[in-house]
Amino acid sequence: MTAPLASRLRGFGTTIFAEMSALAVATGSVNLGQGFPDYPGPPEVLDTARAAIGTGADQYPPGPGIPELRAAVADHRERSTGTAYDADTEVLVTAGATEALAAAMLALLEPGDEVVLFEPIYDSYSASVAMAGGVVRPVPLHPPADGTGPWTFDEAELRAAVTPRTRILLVNSPHNPTGTVLTRDELAVLADLATGHDLTVVTDEVYEHLVFDGARHVSLATLPGMRERTLVVSSAGKTFNVTGWKVGWVCGPAPLVAAVRTAKQFLTYVNAGPFQPAVAAGLRLPEDWFAGIARDLQYRRDVLVTGLRDAGLPVISPQATYFATVDVRGVQPDGDGLAFCRALPERVGVVAVPTVVFYTPEHAALGRHLVRFAFCKSDAVLAEAVERLRRLA
């Protein structure tokens, strides 16, 4: 029998997150691979979900999401970015950010259309583009030469990636896996490119609230001329420590949101009935609660980054997200981050994710020696991980 997998999905094996979490369980390792918190979300959110189970909320919610959640998303968006969206026509609830991104690609791309995006990049992006028959045009983000500070892109490399077939500019800031927050100046370059080439922009902001050291997340949709061409994607998973609930949403101008809804309704139709009111309750938490989760995660970042440095590992400390990046060349003589991660459970009982998996083959060499460690973990788990990683020296 010939291989059953359709050609457009060849090369997309099991996701690294599934592989590494299974390895952590099988070897009893500390799992700093897959980005999920090991502590619960806020009681206001969890209690609302518990109360909703066993009620009518268990049945299919309305296709675009329950009105209460769409209103909460729109209010929250206006509160945090100043941009108003109509809750009925400009907000769509999805099965996590993943479905929002996939539905956007399926809805907007003709076969052969090109999507410009930065690498390294979250792994579902390339697969979503491929499923829609599109083609990715990756532009490298360059790590800081001195090992500190954010990653950045070269404007000439970015502009060179745009062709007459480019349809979408797909941006993720705050950025997984580098933890970089694009500056207003960088966003202005992206906005200029998008308006100049009449591109639709999809911006993935799932880490919007997990930003440290006074860095500020600015949504690309807030720049002049951008609201009308931008779909903003976000999700409850990271903000409320409920990554398994898969409640996400899209905000954008009505024609773009209607297009995404057309694809979305035939992917899952709806999901997460009892979790939708719970996420609405979360989005209505006060401002200082959101500042509090960033402070808490910044503390966890500092614990891990300090521990890794004390263990002699060079770390690029992130401005945001769940993840810190380590250069493993000092502890893995051939500089192969993938081999390092596959051996790490055996070596010291820790699981991490090789940054190389976030690249297409074109730029894979840039990430070969880098490894991503998640710090969204309890104090005891972080302390144990750091202790184990010291044995690498």
- Tell whether residue 241 is a contact of ligand GLN (CB under 6 A): no
Q: Which of residues 222-241 bind ligand PMP (CB under 6 A)?
A: 235, 237
42 binds, among ligand PMP, ligand GLN, none (CB under 5 to 8 A by kind): none
The one-letter code for the residue type at 271 is N
Tokens representing residue 235 in the block: 């999700």
Least Cα distance to 353 among 34, 24, 29, 13 occurs for: 34
Which of these ranges, 75-83, 91-99, 223-231, 264-272, lies near ligand PMP under the rule CB under 6 A? Answer: 91-99
Work out how close the CB of 139 gets to ligand PMP at its nearest, in angstroms, rounded to a whole number.
16
Contacts (Cβ under 8 Å, ≥6 apart) of 361: none
- Using the contact rule CB under 6 A, the part of the chain among 6-14, 19-27, 93-101, 147-155 near ligand PMP is 93-101
Q: How far apart are CA 390 and CA 382, in angstroms?
A: 12
CB atoms under 10 Å from CB of 330, counted, come to 14
Binder of residue 17, out of ligand PMP, ligand GLN, none (CB less than 5 to 8 A by kind): ligand GLN
Q: Binds 97, which of ligand GLN, ligand PMP, none (CB < 5 to 8 A, cut-off by type)?
A: ligand PMP
Q: Which residue is nearest to ligand PMP (CB)?
A: 96
Closer by beta carbon to ligand GLN, 12 or else 17: 17
Smallest separation (angstroms) from ligand GLN to the CB of 128: 12
The amino acid at residue 143 is: P
Chain mean position to CA 161: 22
- Backbone phi, psi, residue 141, to 5°: -90, 135
Q: How many CA atoms lie within 13 A of 119 on its CB side?
A: 25
Q: Give the span between the Cα atoms of 244 and 152, in whole angstroms.
A: 31
Choose the binding region for ligand PMP from 55-63, 94-102, 281-289, 337-345 (rule: CB under 6 A).
94-102
Element spanning 206, H or E: none
- Does 128 contact ligand GLN by CB under 6 A? no
- Sign of CA pseudo-dihedral 136, 9, 103, 96: negative
> Looking at beta carbons only, is 128 or 166 nearer to ligand GLN?
128
Q: Which helix (H) or strand (E) holds 131?
A: helix 124-131
Residues 7-46, mask of contacts with ligand GLN (x by CB under 6 A): --------x-x----------------xx-----------
Question: Within positions 187 to 206, which residues make up the interface with ligand PMP, using CB under 6 A?
Answer: 204, 206
In the complex, least distance from residue 229 CB atom to ligand GLN, rounded to whole angstroms = 26
Tokens 């007459």 -> residue: 164
Site for ligand PMP contains 96 (CB under 6 A): yes
Residue 35 near residue 176, CB atoms below 8 Å: yes
Q: Between 126 and 243, whose beta carbon lies closer to ligand PMP?
A: 243
Span interacting with ligand PMP, options 242-250, 258-266, 296-304, 376-384, rule CB under 6 A: 242-250
Beta strands in the chain (DSSP E): 30-31, 91-94, 114-119, 135-142, 152-153, 166-172, 200-204, 230-235, 248-251, 315-316, 323-327, 350-351, 353-354, 370-374
Minimum separation from the CB atom of position 124 to ligand GLN (A):
7
SS (H, E, C) 247-259: CEEEECCHHHHHH
204 binds, among ligand PMP, ligand GLN, none (CB under 5 to 8 A by kind): ligand PMP
Per CB under 6 A, contacts with ligand GLN among 160-189 are 176
Question: Which residues of the chain form contacts with ligand GLN (CB under 6 A)?
Answer: 15, 17, 34-35, 176
Question: Which residues of the chain form contacts with ligand PMP (CB under 6 A)?
Answer: 96-98, 122, 172, 176, 204, 206, 235, 237, 243, 246, 248
